[in-house]
Amino acid sequence: MFISMKWLARHVDLTGITPEQLADDLTLSTCEVEGIERFAPHMSDVVVGHVLEREPHPDADKLGVARVDVGGDEPLQIVCGAPNLAPGQRVAVATIGTVLPGDFKIKKSKIRGVESRGMICSVRELDLGDEHDGIWVLPEVGETPLAVGQPVAAALGMEDWVIEVDNKSLTHRPDLWGHRGIARELAAIYERELKPIDLEMPALGGGAPVSVRVEDPACSRYLGLAIDGAVNGVSPDWLRELLLAVGQRPIDLLVDLSNFVMLDLGQPNHAFDRDQLAVDGIVVRKARAGERMTTLDGEERELVESDLLITSGGDPVALAGVMGGEGSKVGDDTGRLLLECATFDATTVRRTSARLAHRTDSSARFEKTLDPTLPEAAAAHFANLLRGLQPGVSFPCALADAGEWSDPARSIHLRGDVVRRDLGVALHDDAIASILSRLGLTPTAAGGGFDVAIPSARALKDLTMERDLVEEVGRIHRYGSVPEAPLVGAIEPPPFDRRRQMVRAVEDRLAGAARFHQVLSYSFTPDDLLERTGCAAGDFVRAKNPVAPDMARVRREVLPSLLGLVESARRERDVVRLFELGKGYRPEEAGEDGMPREVHQLAMVLALPTTAADAPFDAGAFFQLRAAVDDVISAAGVTAPCWSSADTAHPAAHPVKQVAGAWSEELDGCGFVASLEPGVARALGLEGELASDVAVAVLDMDALLAAPPSPPTYRPLPKFPMVKVDVACVAPSEMPAAELGGMIEKAGKGAVRDLQLFDVFRGEALGEGKKSLAYHVVLQSDTKTLTDKDAQKFLGRLERSLEQQGAALRR
Amino acid sequence: MTDTTTILAETRARIADAPDVEALRAIEREVVGKDGVVASLLKSIPGLPAEERKGAGQSANELKQAVLAAIEEREASLGSAALEAERRADGFDGTLPPPRVERGTLHPVTQVTRELEDLFTSMGYMVLDGPEVELDDYNFEKLNIPADHPARDTQDTFYCSSPGSSASLLLRTHTSPVQVRAMERLEPPFRAIVPGKVFRQETTDASHEHTFHQMEGLVIDRNVSVGHLIGAMKTLLRGIFKKEIEVRLRPGYFPFVEPGFELDARCPFCTDGCSVCKRTTWIELLPCGLVHPNVLKAGGLDPEEWGGFAFGLGLSRLVMLRYGIDDVRHLLGGDLRFLDQF
Ligand SMILES: [Zn+2]
C-alpha cells in the first residue's frame, strides 16, 4: 500500500519529520515500510514557462512555433502542436536534458526545419493524468502569476513523498488501510495531536430513504446515501495529486472522491448513478447459479451461489465488496447518486475475489474484516467533501441503513504487572496509560490495573485479550528499549538422543570414509520417475494443489529420489556415490489420527562404469556397496545383521542379485542391498555410454534404532602367534558363501580370528555346477602357540564337514 | 703366459669402465673366480721351473688382491654415485598435480543445522522432530489460525489427501506445529529446537522454493519476557555469525505469537548497504515472539502460569547467506557439482 506524506499531514502535523525518519518509526512501531520515493520526481526538473508568442510553423499547418520565457537570458524557441497553446499562458516546460517518465530524454531537435529547444508538456506526458488533447496550462496560485523558471513541483506545491508499506504487515490491522489510521499511529509515536476531521453526517432532507433490503447475513450493514445535484467533472488538483501519489489514476470527481474516502478512512464505498438503477431500490442477496453480470471493467463474469450481489430490480449492479457493475457506474452526466457504504463478510469477499482472480483495493480491505460503524463515517466524509467542492449538492432523504450488526467496541482489563512481566521492562502505570490513550484506546484505572475501552475500529479481531494490549504498549514504547535479559533457571543437558546420535554417526561415516555425497531431495517424486523406477505402485499421499500435475505424489520411500539423479551424475563422473536420510509416507498404515505412517530411511546408490568380465568377484558395485553398508551399520553402533539371499520384492532391486539383512526373527529386517534391476537401469538412461554397474541399498532407521547395540569392546592383544592357512573349497554353485564361511568358523573351534575370501572361481576344471572359493584363514589361540599340527587338524575337520555337505577341500 | 702386470692394467681399465655392480661381479668372477684368470695362473705354477714358482705364486696373489681392491673401490664409488643420482633427482617437478582424492560431502543444510543444534543443545535445548505430512489442526487451528483467517492467505498450503484417511492433511507450512506437539508431550519448563523440511505452494525461481528448511525454537517457562527473547536471539546470532551482531526487533504479525516480531540483524556483509540487505543494512532474519496464550492453551498449558517465546529460523536462507548461494533451487537439486563444493 502506498501512503502519501502530504496526505498524512492532513491528519497529523509532520513538521520537522523527514520521510526517512517517518519510515523508520513506522517500521519499528507499526508496520514494515518497504521503501520511500519522491512523488513525480521529474516535476522538480520541469520548469514554469511563460508563453511570449506563438506563430504558425512555416512548413506545417498544425504546428506552432512558440517563444517561451523560462527565466534564462533568452526565451526558448519551442515547436509545439497543441491547439490550446496561447501567449500569456504559464506552462510546464521540459528543457533540454530533462528526463520525463518512460525514460524520455529531451534533446535539441529540428522539427520540419525549425529548431526546437525543449518541450511544452501535456498532463499525460508528465504522468499526471490521461489528458493529452493539449498542453497543460498551469493553474493560478494566489494573486501573482507563477514565477517563471522555478520547478513546477515547487511552484504548485506538488512535492510529496510516497511511502510503500508491506501489505502483509497490515493483515491484522484493517484500521491501517487508510491514511487516517496510519496518521493515528504517527500521532501516538510522535506524541502529536490527531487532527479532528468532520465526520458528522450533514443535514439530510425529509424524503423517504432509498429502499434497501439485505437478504443475506454476509452483508451485516448496508448504508445508502442519496445525493442530488452533483456535477461530475475533473477533480481539483489537490485531489488528483494525492491520488496520483498513491498510485491511483484520477478518473472523475465522483469516482475520485469515492477512492479518496476509501484511501483516507479504509472504508470501500461505491457510487451508483441512481438514474441508471433499474428500480430505485437495492436488494443484497447471494447470486443464483448461472447468473452473470458485467463489471465496470467491462468483463462479463459468471457468478456462483457463494457470491454476494448488490441488485436493483432483480439485476446485479455490483459484486459486493469486489467491484461495481458496468450499467450503473457514474458518468459525465451523473447528477443523482446513491452512495453505498457497507460491511461485507470477509470470507465471502475473499472467496469471490480469489475465484475470479481479481483482487481490488476494495476486496483487499473487506478481507480484513471491517468495522461496521465505519460506513456511517465514510458516507459523511464523502458528503462533506463533495459539499465542500459543490455547495449546491443536496441530500434529499434519510439515510437507508439495513442489516444486522452490533458495535464491537469492548473493554479489556489490563494489569500493569503483566505488561512489565511480559515485556521485561520497568514501565510505570502512567506511561502505560499514556501510550494507550495516544493510540485512541481509553484506559480507566480499575482493580489495580486498567479497564481499557477498545474502539470498534480495533475491537473486531485485533485487540481481543490482555496480551494484545501488552503488544500495543510494547511497540509504541519500542522493543529497542527493552533490556536484553538472560534466561535463568537450571540448565540441564537435554536427554540423550540416540536417534540424533545415530543419524550423525551414519552421515559422518558415509560422507567421510565412505566418500558418499549427501543429497536432500524434494518430498514430491515426479510420476515419470516413479514409473521409470517401477515404484509407482501403492497408495500415495497426494497434494491436492501440486506445483505441477505430475508432482502430486508425496514419496513413500527415499530411493527413487536418488535414482533420478544417477544419469546426470554419471555424465558428470565415473563413480557416483549418493545417500539421503529422509522420510516417506505410507497411507495404508495410517494411525488413529488419520496420519499416514512416517518411515525414516537411509537410501544409498553406488554407480560405477560396468566392470570388466575378469574383474575380481568383489570389484562390482554390489559388493562395494555391501561393504559400505556393513561399515555404516557398525558406525551406527549396531550389531551387524545377517545378510541372506531373499526376495525383497522391491521393484528397483535385481531379482537375483540382492540380499536382505536381519538380526533376529523378532526384529524387523534392516533393509536390503541389491544391484539395480536391469530394466530400471535402462529406463533411467543408464545404457550405451552411460551403461553402469549400479547398486542400491535401503536401511530402515527405526529398525537400526531397535537393533541390538554393539558398542566397541576391548579385547586383550593376542599373546600367542597366529598361523595363516589358505583354504580352497570346491562347492556346488548354489551353496551360499555364508554357509561355507560358517563351516570354516566351526572347524576352527573358536580359533578362527579372521576369514577373508580372496578368490571365487568357476571353470571347466572344476566340473559342471561347481565353484571354488579360496580363503585366507587366520588361526590363533588365547592359550597356546598353534603349530602346523593344529593347522592340519583344522583342515581335517574342515574337509570332513565339507564332504558331508557335498563340497570338498582342494589340497 | 701373460704378464700379470698387463692383466692387472687391463682389468683395472675394465673395472674403471664398469657401469654397475653387476658388471663388477662379472669381472670379479672372470678374474678371481673359481675358474678365473688368477685360478688358472695358480694352476699353471706346478709346471714352471722351481725358481720361478715362488715368484709366480706371489704375482698371482698380488694380482688377485689388487683386482679385489680395485673392484671394492669402484663399487664404493658406484654406490655413492647412485646416492648422488638419487639425491639429484633429475627432472623432478613437485608442482605436477597430485592424484585426485575423492571425498564425500555433508549437505550444507546438514552442516549449518548441526552447528545450530550444537549451539542450542549446549544451552539446554532439546532437538525435536515432527511430521512433514501434518494435520490441519496442528499446522493452523492449534496455532491460533482458524479457517478463513487472513493469515492462511499468505501461507500457500499444499493440502493433501491420503487414501483411506478422512483427516485434514497438509504438508506443514512451517515447523511451528511441533510447538503444540512438544507442549502436549513434554513437562514444562523445557527448551527445544525443531529443524525440518517445510512446504509452500509457490512458483519457484532463484529465490523461491516450494520446499525448504526451517528451524523452530521454543522456550516454555515461567515469567518469560521479550527481554529474554532478545537475549536468546542475540546469543543465537553470535553463534551463527561468530561475532557481535546488532539486532532490532520490530512488530511482525504471526497469529501464534503475541506480541510478534520480525528480528532484523545488522547486515554482516556490509556497512553501507549491499545486495544481500537490499541496500538497507538490515537483514530480515527471524520471525519470533511470545507464545500466544491461545497456543499455550491448545498445548494444554495454563497461560497464567506458563509463558514462553518461539522463533523460526530460515535454515535454507541462512545457508544461502553463509555461502553466498544465488539460487535456492540448488539446495534440493542434487547436482554433484553443487554438493561437491561443501
Ligand atoms: Zn548489506
Closest CB to B105: pick one of A31, A486, A518: A518
The tens digit of pLDDT for each residue in A728-753 reads 999 998 888 888 999 999 999 999 99
Answer yes or no: do B331 and A520 touch at CB < 8 A: yes
In this prediction, residues B187-192 reach a mean pLDDT of: 94
**Residue carrying the nine cell digits 518512460:** A102
Contact indicator for B196, B130 with CB cutoff of 8 Å: yes
The tens digit of pLDDT for each residue in A770-789 reads 899 999 999 999 899 999 99
- Chain A closest-CA separation from residue B96 CA (Å): 22
Distance between the two ends of chain A, CA-based, in angstroms?
91
In this prediction, residues A521-530 reach a mean pLDDT of: 96
Answer yes or no: do A561 and B153 touch at CB < 8 A: no
Query: For residue A140, what pLDDT is reported?
Result: 82
C-alpha to C-alpha distance for A307 and A326, rounded to whole angstroms: 17
Closest CB to B293: pick one of A30, A467, A568: A467
Hey, what's the cell of A475?
511497540
C-alpha to C-alpha distance for A117 and A77, rounded to whole angstroms: 6
C-alpha to C-alpha distance for A295 and A272, rounded to whole angstroms: 13
Q: What is the 3-state secondary structure (H, E, C) of A232-270?
A: CCCCCHHHHHHHHHCCCCCCCHHHHHHHHHHHHHCCCEE
Q: Is A201 helix (H, G, I), strand (E, B) or coil?
A: coil
The tens digit of pLDDT for each residue in A660-690 reads 999 888 877 899 999 999 999 999 999 998 9
Q: How far is CA A653 from CA A40, A621, A659, in A?
A: 68, 13, 10
The ipTM of this complex is 0.86
C-alpha to C-alpha distance for A510 and A518, rounded to whole angstroms: 8
Contact A95/B at CB under 8 A: no
Answer yes or no: do B124 and A491 touch at CB < 8 A: yes
Interface test with A, best of B141, B154, B168, B169 (most A CBs within 10 A): B169
Interface test with B, best of A435, A523, A579 (most B CBs within 10 A): A523
Interface test with B, best of A166, A175, A420, A467 (most B CBs within 10 A): A467
In this prediction, residues A164-178 reach a mean pLDDT of: 93
Minimum CA–CA partner of B307 in chain A: A422
| DSSP letter, residue A801 | H
Contact A423/B at CB under 8 A: yes
Answer yes or no: do A545 and B234 touch at CB < 8 A: no
Answer yes or no: do B225 and A585 touch at CB < 8 A: no
A60-69 and A47-57 beta bridge pairing: antiparallel
Q: How far is the CA of B283 from the centre of ligand 1 (A)?
A: 8
C-alpha to C-alpha distance for B269 and B278, rounded to whole angstroms: 11
Q: How far is the CA of A26 from the centre of ligand 1 (A)?
A: 21
Query: For residue B153, what pLDDT is reported?
Result: 61
Order of strands, sheet of A33-38, starting from the edge strand that comes earlier in the sequence: A2-4, A161-165, A33-38
Contact B204/A at CB under 8 A: yes
Q: Is the pLDDT of residue B51 over 60?
A: yes
Q: Is the pLDDT of residue A755 over 80?
A: yes
In this prediction, residues A119-132 reach a mean pLDDT of: 89
C-alpha to C-alpha distance for A39 and A128, rounded to whole angstroms: 11
Chain A residue numbers touching B334 (CB-CB < 8 A): 519-521, 561-562, 564-565, 578
Chain A residue numbers touching B134 (CB-CB < 8 A): 595
Closest CB to B167: pick one of A479, A492, A594: A594
Minimum CA–CA partner of B157 in chain A: A545
Q: Is A103 helix (H, G, I), strand (E, B) or coil?
A: coil
Q: How far is the CA of B317 from the centre of ligand 1 (A)?
A: 15
Q: How far is CA A804 from CA A560, A589, A797, B193, B340, in A?
A: 45, 47, 11, 61, 54
Q: Identify residue A18 by its one-letter amino acid code.
A: T
A736 backbone φψ class: left, alpha, beta (φ>0; ψ -120 to 50): beta
Report which listed range, A217-221, A756-760, B58-62, is most confident: A217-221
Answer yes or no: do A474 and B226 touch at CB < 8 A: yes
Hey, what's the cell of B276?
544481500
Q: What is the 3-state secondary structure (H, E, C) of A561-619?
A: HHHHHHHHHHHHCCCEEEEEEEEEEEHHHCCCCCCCEEEEEEEEEEEEECCCCCCCCCC
Query: Alpha carbon B191 to chain centroid distance?
Result: 29
Contact A575/B at CB under 8 A: yes
- Chain A closest-CA separation from residue B339 CA (Å): 7
Minimum CA–CA partner of A569 in chain B: B336
Q: Identify residue A783 by its one-letter amino acid code.
A: T
Query: For residue A638, what pLDDT is reported?
Result: 93
What's the pLDDT band for B37 if we cut at 50, 70, 90?
confident
Contact indicator for A801, A743 with CB cutoff of 8 Å: yes
In this prediction, residues B131-155 reach a mean pLDDT of: 85
| Segment 140-169 of chain B within 8 Å of chain A by CB | 148, 150-151, 153-154, 158-167, 169
User: What does pTM read for this prediction?
Assistant: 0.85
C-alpha to C-alpha distance for B156 and A543, rounded to whole angstroms: 12
Answer yes or no: do B151 and A171 touch at CB < 8 A: yes
Closest CB to B167: pick one of A508, A546, A593: A593
Contact indicator for A579, A512 with CB cutoff of 8 Å: no
C-alpha to C-alpha distance for A266 and A368, rounded to whole angstroms: 11
Q: Contacts from B236-241 at CB under 8 Å and sequence distance 24+?
A: B236/B116, B236/B119, B236/B120, B236/B311, B236/B313, B237/B265, B237/B285, B239/B115, B239/B116, B239/B119, B240/B115, B240/B116, B240/B318, B241/B265, B241/B268
A-B contacts at Cβ under 8 angstroms: 251
The tens digit of pLDDT for each residue in A569-607 reads 999 899 999 999 999 999 999 999 999 999 999 999 999
Chain B residue numbers touching A561 (CB-CB < 8 A): 334
Closest CB to A487: pick one of B117, B219, B340: B219
Query: For residue B1, what pLDDT is reported?
Result: 47
Minimum CA–CA partner of B213 in chain A: A520
Answer yes or no: do B253 and A565 touch at CB < 8 A: no
| Segment 230-289 of chain B within 8 Å of chain A by CB | 230-232, 234, 248-253, 255, 258-262
| Segment 520-549 of chain A within 8 Å of chain B by CB | 520-524, 539-547
What's the pLDDT band for A119 if we cut at 50, 70, 90?
very high
Query: For residue A250, what pLDDT is reported?
Result: 92
- Nearby residues of A402 by Cβ (< 8 Å), 6 or more positions away: A212, A213, A214, A221, A222, A223, A284
Closest CB to B197: pick one of A523, A569, A585: A523
Least confident of A51-65, A185-199, A217-231, A431-445: A51-65
Query: For residue A465, what pLDDT is reported?
Result: 95
The tens digit of pLDDT for each residue in A631-667 reads 999 999 999 998 888 788 899 999 999 999 998 888 7
Answer yes or no: do B259 and A516 touch at CB < 8 A: no
Answer yes or no: do B169 and A595 touch at CB < 8 A: yes
Contact indicator for A365, A262 with CB cutoff of 8 Å: yes
- Nearby residues of A796 by Cβ (< 8 Å), 6 or more positions away: none
Query: For residue B154, what pLDDT is reported?
Result: 58
Closest by CA to B63, choosing from B17, B25, B13, B9, is B9
Q: Is the pLDDT of residue B321 over 60?
A: yes
- Nearby residues of A358 by Cβ (< 8 Å), 6 or more positions away: A322, A323
Contact indicator for A97, A105 with CB cutoff of 8 Å: yes
Contact A554/B at CB under 8 A: yes
| Segment 154-173 of chain A within 8 Å of chain B by CB | 168-169, 171-173
- Chain B closest-CA separation from residue A102 CA (Å): 24
Query: For residue A489, what pLDDT is reported?
Result: 76
Closest CB to B110: pick one of A507, A562, A594: A507
C-alpha to C-alpha distance for A632 and A508, rounded to whole angstroms: 9
Contact A465/B at CB under 8 A: yes
Q: How far is the CA of B318 from the centre of ligand 1 (A)?
A: 14
Q: What is the mean pLDDT of chain B?
A: 91
Query: For residue A723, what pLDDT is reported?
Result: 92
The tens digit of pLDDT for each residue in A454-493 reads 999 999 989 999 999 999 999 999 999 899 998 887 777 7
| DSSP letter, residue A394 | B
Closest CB to A29: pick one of B163, B203, B251: B251
Q: How far is the CA of B285 from the centre of ligand 1 (A)?
A: 13
